[in-house]
Chain A
């Protein structure tokens, strides 16, 4: 029982971790909080579900197509909307992402309808229980894909020119410009990556949790909480925060009551903020004058 709860917690935690990482990438590259991050997850799940149910595409084609579509939408959102806003302060842009979130929700509503969609799992078959723990087939896909994605992203950030320029632009916009980095391109790339990761999370979780145009708020909230829990700005913290949040929630739901599970998870978040505001893995916050 305990092991089963833990593993199911890790499963949903993987999804939260992807969303939180997307948050972190955008925050590090541009310094703004992207409140539309949950909508990326929602679009990933709704588009892939519609492709596989309405058009009958196999899930392994529908998922990548939906990821590409959401990546393009996310990049367009930054390039066409955020960068063209009259006031370029993090607060104003953050609020703008809330508005864009509504637009995206509305777009999904009239393109794919109000109904909850239940797409099939990526593959059939059953995984035998290991040590009394049952993992749904889709769960294995989630673990495997998130693990590979995490390694790839980690390499991209630590080793590639793209990762360096993103961190540089986040550190100091002006210094980055002097080094020949375009902060605008970096910001669009960051949004595209956040879109891809959100959509990946959405496509993976849709067969387990169903897809609907209203689910974005829920995922955004969870991803945001996970990012804060781990310490905003730290990719490792985002992943850890996501996993911890998922496990805590499942423990709360399993041993107490499912109605209260979010309250317990977020109550812990408030405690963390009060005790160590920079999150579990966050560095010291520097006060700039």
Chain B
């Protein structure tokens, strides 16, 4: 068996393990505060998986992911609330619309080198978040915000409790991970890694770099849109501050802290970034400082992220045992 297909098998086994862990958490947790925190982590993890593909694999740092999350959230919410779409169709369009927008915007921008993409995505993120807060007739802006009166449902089966949303989010995370793993282990994924290490060399070996970059940008936007739709159905009442610049930064931090080289890092990163502030609640004014210090230390000393740090630690332990 070749190295590549071995890695693929490992990832699929990891996915099975992750599904079981998610199912166990869902079956054993009934405290709604914990469930809510975990749901937020799962929702952020979905955007972060997209950003890992974009940033970690293709080397394109986007500072505008929040715009696509918001686009997904408002697409789903508006279609369900104003156009009486079934929620599942709203969610599907919440994936498609950001994907299409990402494609259209990415096409001209991705001809530029990486640094300029970062700047353009930053500008795009801020512009769209302003649109969300100013187009009050559509989005409700900052005040009163958007009220979504319909719960998520599949056919006649209404899923409106926190526990139900936990299952919906878990299923979405597993599906997103499955898609991401398959992408990485395809010709497309290998092409992305090639263009990250040297764009010229990748182009030389017949990779259509601009098309590949646009495609991954659009896919990441679609994943962000899905997480936005889940956010909308879970919160039901939200305003434009949820999709501002700080969310884009938080997503980048999730990827940095989790892992740049593996989609699994997104889960680790999202867990740390959502659970740490909740755990630091008692430190009141020192909370932000401690949170920042932890992030800086991880980025300084574990440049590949927590996931790789953990993997290396475990393999070192195993190697130590073998030596004895």
Known A-B contacts A260-B134, A263-B131; A109 and B126 likewise in contact (beta carbons under 8 Å): no
In angstroms, Cα B182 to Cα A253, docked, is 48
B223 in contact (CB, < 8 A): no
B155 in contact (CB, < 8 A): no
| CB-based nearest A residue for B256 | A95
User: Are A262 and B300 in contact (CB-based, < 8 A)?
Assistant: no
Contact with B along A79-116 (1 / 0, CB 8 A): 00100111100011011101111111111011001100
Interface residues contributed by chain A, number (CB under 8 Å): 46
Which of A84, A269, A273 touches B109 (beta carbons < 8 Å)? A273
A133 in contact (CB, < 8 A): no
In angstroms, Cα B114 to Cα A277, docked, is 11
Known A-B contacts A260-B134, A262-B130; A217 and B299 likewise in contact (beta carbons under 8 Å): no
In angstroms, Cα B188 to Cα A64, docked, is 55
Helix, strand, loop or mixed for chain A's interface?
helix
Known A-B contacts A107-B289, A263-B130, A263-B134; A273 and B123 likewise in contact (beta carbons under 8 Å): yes
Contact with A along B285-317 (1 / 0, CB 8 A): 111111111011001111100000000000000
Contact with B along A197-226 (1 / 0, CB 8 A): 000000000000000000001000100110
Known A-B contacts A33-B118, A106-B287; A99 and B130 likewise in contact (beta carbons under 8 Å): no
| CB-based nearest B residue for A218 | B245
Kindly list chain B residues whose C-beta atoms are within 8 Å of the C-beta of A105: 288, 292
Known A-B contacts A33-B115, A221-B126; A102 and B291 likewise in contact (beta carbons under 8 Å): yes
A-B contact pairs, 30 of them (CB 8 A): A33-B118, A87-B303, A94-B61, A95-B299, A96-B296, A99-B295, A100-B292, A102-B288, A102-B291, A103-B296, A104-B292, A106-B286, A106-B287, A109-B285, A110-B289, A221-B126, A224-B119, A232-B119, A259-B130, A262-B126, A262-B127, A262-B130, A263-B126, A263-B131, A263-B134, A270-B124, A277-B112, A285-B113, A287-B113, A287-B200
